[in-house]
Amino acid sequence: MLLELLRNRTSIRNFTGEDISMEIIKYILEAGRLSPSGGNEQPWIFGVIIDKDMIKKVSEIAYNQKWIESASFLIALCTCIVEKECGGRDIQKARFPKIAEVIENMNDEIYSCLNVEEHQTKIPGTHMALAALEHGIASTWVSYFDVDKMSMLLNLPKACIASEILAFGYPVNKKEPLKKKKLEEIVFYNVFKIEK
Ligand SMILES: Cc1cc2nc3c(=O)[nH]c(=O)nc-3n(C[C@H](O)[C@H](O)[C@H](O)COP(=O)(O)O)c2cc1C
């Protein structure tokens, strides 16, 4: 069942824009809430954007990706730096011991930019995209946007940035999924081996 949903999933950039009930939106959010995270820190907040003017502004900040305007709603997946114990930074130091000192001395702003890759919002985002698919709702990820402008628009606290935005809606047309690499091309067992 899950594989069937995944086989038919594809990014949609042409939505009908029709309203989606709060009940379904909450179902999608709940799927995100249940995500795993390193140390169960859950270093995220989720911003639901339904207001059409706000959706338009997001599309402008996303370097005028006009298609975003057709979405019924957006969810901003926001990463928050974990305060105090800075568990995140200690974990990165342990993961990259050769540059531990650099990581230790990196100022918060730079650290926060680099941190985005690690920051685990893609997990709740994936849960959400799947929960939406169960209801026939398609989605597309957006990470091509000006992070500073997005923080201002969403009035985010200083320790948080929007890592990605997910745009949701019903597709106008059925779209064939894109071709994916075969398992043989991307899987190795035990030790990586280059096939001649
Ligand atoms: C993290 C991430 C960021 C993305 N950002 C954008 C984006 O800013 N704009 C866009 O049109 N698509 C974006 N995409 C969608 C990809 O282009 C799309 O997933 C890819 O082409 C594969 O197509 P598929 O999702 O239909 O399999 C993003 C996808 C991911 C996973």
Every domain of the chain and the residues it spans: 2-83+120-186
At residue 193, the pLDDT reads 82
DSSP letter string, 112-173? HHHHHHH--THHHHHHHHHHHHHTT-EEEEE--S-HHHHHHHHT--TTEEEEEEEEEE-BSS
At residue 158, the pLDDT reads 83
Spatial separation of the C-alpha atoms in residues 170 and 94, rounded to whole Å: 43
Residue nearest to atom 31 of ligand 1 (CA): 141
DSSP three-state, residue 11: coil
Segments of the chain with pLDDT less than 50:
85-86, 117
Instruction: Tell me how far the alpha carbon of residue 191 lies from the centroid of ligand 1, in angstroms.
Output: 30
**Alpha-helical runs (H) found in 34-69:** 52-61
Q: Is the CB of 164 under 6 A from ligand 1?
A: yes
At residue 85, the pLDDT reads 47
At residue 173, the pLDDT reads 95
Taking CA atoms, 13 is separated from 75, 77, 133, 170, 173, in Å, by 15, 19, 15, 10, 10
Amino acid, single-letter form, for residue 138: A
- Which tens digits make up the pLDDT trace of 50-88? 999 999 999 999 999 999 999 999 999 998 876 654 456
Contact 84, 183 (CB under 8 A): no
Spatial separation of the C-alpha atoms in residues 13 and 165, rounded to whole Å: 13
Q: Is the CB of 141 under 6 A from ligand 1?
A: yes
At residue 96, the pLDDT reads 83
Contact 133, 9 (CB under 8 A): yes
Can you name the residues that pair with 138 across neighbouring β-strands? 169
At residue 110, the pLDDT reads 81
Q: Pick from 142, 147, 163, 166 the residue to mutate for probing ligand 1's pocket: most ligand atoms within 8 Å of its CB.
A: 142
Q: Which CATH superfamily is domain 2-83+120-186 in?
A: NADH Oxidase (3.40.109.10)
Contact 164, 188 (CB under 8 A): no
